[in-house]
Amino acid sequence: MAKDWQKNEITYLKRYAETKSLEELAERFDTTQDEVRHQLQGLGLHVKSSAPGGGMYDDPAVDQFAEAMKLLQAGEWAKAKEAFEPVVADSDLPDVAERARQMIRVAEHHLAAAAKIEDDFLAAVFEKNQGHFDAALKLCAKHKDEERFVYLEASIFALRKNLGDAVTALTRAVEMNPKNRVYAYHDPDFEAIRRKPELEGFFEVR
């Protein structure tokens, strides 16, 4: 009885027809080599004539894994997750597939954390704009190592005329990103600081 080829199986054949042997493909799909050959020919694909040596790097998914790791190490979480998914689906090496699953979980963790930070920042800006300064500062306090939260905290202190804390926070924001000095110079939230003669030098570009 002829095999009923599924869409994902055909996709796999198209990807690996020229890198895997008939024996490997037949074993992968639990069918005969003749059945695989017939399907490949029907798709207009070339058939690999001999089996590879069987080493780890005979699996093309290993190269895909390496490319996905580069994205992960670069902090490209969404792209990395997308790049690891075909490794899980296509690799014949259980260890490689499992490692890819682990890396997908790492990427998902970072994506979730980034989404939470973004949600908190938007919430903090909203609370500030509503005049709920305590609520906004509470959110900022959760992200002391995030430049935009430190800058936002400084702006809230400035609006409260708490100039000492405002300068302290703004100084830290500038240390994290020197451009914040320019942003603050044009930001109406810091008008109270700019009016202080003793603080005029703070806004000089260095």
Phi-psi region of 148 (alpha: psi -120 to 50; beta: other; left: phi over 0): alpha
Q: Where are the domains of the chain?
A: 7-52, 57-114, 144-203
Residue closest to 72 by CA, chosen among 94, 100, 96, 97: 100
pLDDT, position 204 = 65
Mark out the alpha helices in 130-206 (DSSP H runs): 133-141, 147-159, 163-176, 179-186, 191-194
Give 48's strand partners: 21
pLDDT, position 56 = 37
SS3 21: strand
Q: Cβ distance 128 to 136 under 8 Å?
A: yes
Take residue 182 and report the two structure tokens written for it: 């320019």
Give yes or no for residue 114 having a pLDDT over 90: no
- The rounded radius of gyration (Å) of the Cα atoms in the chain is 28
CA distance 164 to 93: 60
Q: What is the pTM of this model?
A: 0.51
* Structure-model confidence comparison of residues 159 and 35, the more confident one: 159
Output the CA–CA distances (angstroms, integers) from residue 134 to 30, 91, 144, in the order listed: 64, 52, 16
In this prediction, residues 190-204 reach a mean pLDDT of 76
In this prediction, residues 20-30 reach a mean pLDDT of 81
pLDDT digits (tens, 9 = 90+) for 69-86: 889 888 888 999 999 999
Take residue 17 and report the two structure tokens written for it: 């027809």
Give the architecture (CATH level 2) of 57-114: Up-down Bundle (1.20)
* Structure-model confidence comparison of residues 56 and 173, the more confident one: 173
User: What is the pLDDT confidence band of residue 89, given thresholds at 50, 70 and 90?
Assistant: confident
Residue closest to 59 by CA, chosen among 24, 8, 107: 24
